[in-house]
Amino acid sequence: MSQEQWTAVDDYLSGLVAPNDAALAAALANSAGAGLPSIHITPNQGKLLFLLARLRGARAILEIGTLGGYSAIWLARALPSGGRLITLEHNPEYADVARRNLERAGLMDRVEIRVGEAIDTLAQLSEEGHGPFDLVFIDADKRSNPTYVSRAIELAREGSVIIVDNVVRNGSVLDAESEDESVQGVRRALELMASEPRLAVTAIQTVGSKGYDGFAIALVV
């Protein structure tokens, strides 16, 4: 099996079950045009987030790592009327691209983009009394994943879902001695989730158009 085949199958599956509509396609085109890194989730992964949010009946969603807003469009579309997505982005230029993409998708009435270090904006959310969030999607700098998982649990309630992207990273997660802070962040976050009695967790490796990676899903119990 090759990357070429994984991509072809992903394109086939996404084309069938999760095709990009005009707003999603424009979000990707605008993000690429603005020079954002091409590390957004795939359409069928976006559909998975949408389905998990709907399955949970999520009315309050938190995303850590907005990038160009592609995943935020999928998440915001899962909200019922009156529902709210707060998405955190460190890079103000990425946040501007995301704001335009979410506006174009007609979703800024239910989305708030907070710009800043997520460590700080997460503390703000707590101080302001936000939460509990029904679903948290963690997809930002991997080094801080353990902190993001801890904050996500604090901002959740029984029944909340926490999803962490990029937990396999081409198998690098296996390297316990890695000097890469991202690898250590992923490992520490997985260990934290595994040992946290308030979480029921699984972790799944995936292949697709984004290569060999995986995600963790946890239910707050």
Q: Which is nearer to ligand DHB, 63 or 139 (CB)?
A: 139
Output the smallest distance, CB 40 to ligand DHB, in A: 7
Cβ atoms of 200 and 181 closer than 8 Å: no
Binding of ligand DHB at residue 165 (CB under 6 A)? Answer: yes
- Residue count, binding to Mg ion (CB under 5 A): 3
Q: Which is nearer to ligand DHB, 45 or 131 (CB)?
A: 45
**Residue ranges in 159-178 that form contacts with Mg ion under rule CB under 5 A:** 165-166
Q: Would residue 42 be called left, alpha or beta, if left means φ above 0 and alpha means ψ between -120 and 50 degrees?
A: beta
- Residue count, binding to ligand DHB (CB under 6 A): 4
Binding of ligand DHB at residue 166 (CB under 6 A)? Answer: yes
Output the smallest distance, CB 129 to ligand DHB, in A: 29
Among 63, 89, 134, 139, binds ligand DHB (CB under 6 A): 139
Binding of Mg ion at residue 139 (CB under 5 A)? Answer: yes
Q: Say how far apart CA 35 and CA 96 lie, in whole Å.
A: 13
Longest dimension (CA), the chain: 49
Cβ atoms of 135 and 79 closer than 8 Å: no
Q: Say how far apart CA 32 and CA 199 lie, in whole Å.
A: 36
**φ, ψ (nearest 5 deg) of residue 68:** -95, 10
**Residue ranges in 37-66 that form contacts with ligand DHB under rule CB under 6 A:** 39
Q: Which is nearer to Mg ion, 28 or 132 (CB)?
A: 28
Output the smallest distance, CB 115 to ligand DHB, in A: 18
Output the smallest distance, CB 188 to ligand DHB, in A: 17
Cβ atoms of 88 and 167 closer than 8 Å: no
Residue nearest to Mg ion (CB): 165
Q: Which is nearer to Mg ion, 67 or 111 (CB)?
A: 67
Contact partners, residue 175, CB within 8 Å, separation at least 6:
183
Contact partners, residue 108, CB within 8 Å, separation at least 6:
99, 102
- Helix and strand counts by DSSP (H, E) for the chain: 8, 7
Q: Which is nearer to ligand DHB, 150 or 182 (CB)?
A: 182
Binding site for ligand DHB (CB under 6 A): 39, 139, 165-166
Binding site for Mg ion (CB under 5 A): 139, 165-166
